[in-house]
Structure 1
Amino acid sequence: MGYHTFDAGRADKLEDAQQRYRFLSAEELRWALSVDGDATVADLGSGTGFYTDDVAPAVDHVYAVDIQEAMHDYYREKGAPDNVDLVTSSVDDLPLDTGSLDAAFSTMTYHEFASDRALREVARVLKPQGTLAIADWAASGSGSDGPPVDERFSSDEATAALSQHGFTVEFEAVRPETFLIVATAE
């Protein structure tokens, strides 16, 4: 089961590029998604749209999904690109059509929504062979950045959960504080 969400009152912290790119660069995220310019993508736990902004120029459409309307308010004020729709929703009940996404990604938010229901829902909205990229805080990390270690998942736990829900893990990397998993839907 996932844990608490990021405090929207601290949203400015999510815009610190130097800090954020230490753990996942824009280039690595776009590589993990490997989608073309016609793709429709969802950012699961989009927050302020920091990584949404990195993906939006490379695709046709992005759904920025966040459970907190306050995060969308921040993103609106910052200026969301024209091809981004802000969707206030939990990941376990996405208001998107079945098979409507070419790809989805989660950047440092998997620990917030990880559940069987959420993974079933992500599998539902992805097209067959659609890509899911997850970069998150690793349970093996020190906890000096990100959430407390006891609120994190290991890469092994995440890959096992994905496999149980019909995903095939194509790539896995464990770093000192984070992991990156790229998987495809059935």
Structure 2
Amino acid sequence: MGFHTFDPEKADKLEDAERYRYVSREELVGHLDVTTGSIVADLGSGTGFYTDNIAPFVRKVFAVDVQDAMHDHYREKGVPENVSLVTANISDIPFSDGELDAAFSTMTYHEFASGEALTEIARILRPGGRFVIADWSANGQGESGPPVEERYDLETAHELVSDTGFQIEFEAERPETFILVASR
């Protein structure tokens, strides 16, 4: 799908604690199954709202976003020492094969989901590395987030991710969102 990216002019909305209603820090950290030595990427990091939540639990987080303007907002609020900003398209991430222990996408999967992007994510994860997706569901009512027609449902996301060679570890459909946890 990948209809559009989030408007940087509305970046302040990404700093709203109401976002924890869709996925909490604890849930995200738990599904990532990381240690203090882990290297992780936040794919579609935006202003770093969730990046900041993961940073205290790992050695390094790469905040990956296709928009420099989002990194500008992140710099304004302050970037933790163990976070590096990377401007890149998810289908062409500048990391070595197996460099990462885990990657996650919070409410951005619908912007980049494709076989090409998922193959790239699989490439940069070490064997056994985790990929966690929390995104807007096509089965939702559209109370927040992108238009429903721009979203994936859990079944389609499951199929795309598993077709790329990931093993699905956990999945759950929610009223407006879904979560999918996979390993390489």
Deviations 1:11-52 (A, max 9, x none): 0000001x2011111111101101111000000000000000
Superposed counterparts of 1:29-68, under 5 Å = 29-68=28-67
Task: Tell me what 2:2 maps to.
Answer: 2
Q: Distance in 2 between matches of 1:179 and 1:32?
A: 13
TM superposition shift of 1:104: 0.1
Superposed counterparts of 1:5-154, under 5 Å = 5-17=5-17, 19-154=18-153
TM-score (norm 1): 0.98
TM superposition shift of 1:2: 1.7
TM-score (norm 2): 0.99
Q: Distance in 2 between matches of 1:9 and 1:115?
A: 26
SS across alignment from 2:155 = helix
Q: Distance in 2 between matches of 1:7 and 1:92?
A: 20
Unaligned runs of 5+ in 2: none
SS across alignment from 1:93 = coil
Identity within the alignment, %: 61
TM superposition shift of 1:144: 1.1
SS across alignment from 1:166 = coil
SS across alignment from 1:134 = strand
Unaligned runs of 5+ in 1: none
Q: Distance in 2 between matches of 1:114 and 1:4?
A: 12
Q: Which amino acid aligns with 1:101?
A: L
Over the residues paired in the alignment, what is the CA RMSD in angstroms? 0.5
TM superposition shift of 1:160: 0.3
Deviations 1:64-91 (A, max 9, x none): 0000000000001110100000000010
TM superposition shift of 1:3: 2.0
Ranges of 4+ aligned residues in structure 1 off by more than 4 Å: none
SS across alignment from 2:91 = helix
Deviations 1:89-127 (A, max 9, x none): 010000011100000000000000001110000000000
Task: Tell me what 2:170 maps to.
Answer: 171
How many residues are paired up?
184
Task: Tell me what 2:157 maps to.
Answer: 158
Q: Distance in 1 between matches of 2:137 and 2:31?
A: 18
TM superposition shift of 1:161: 0.4
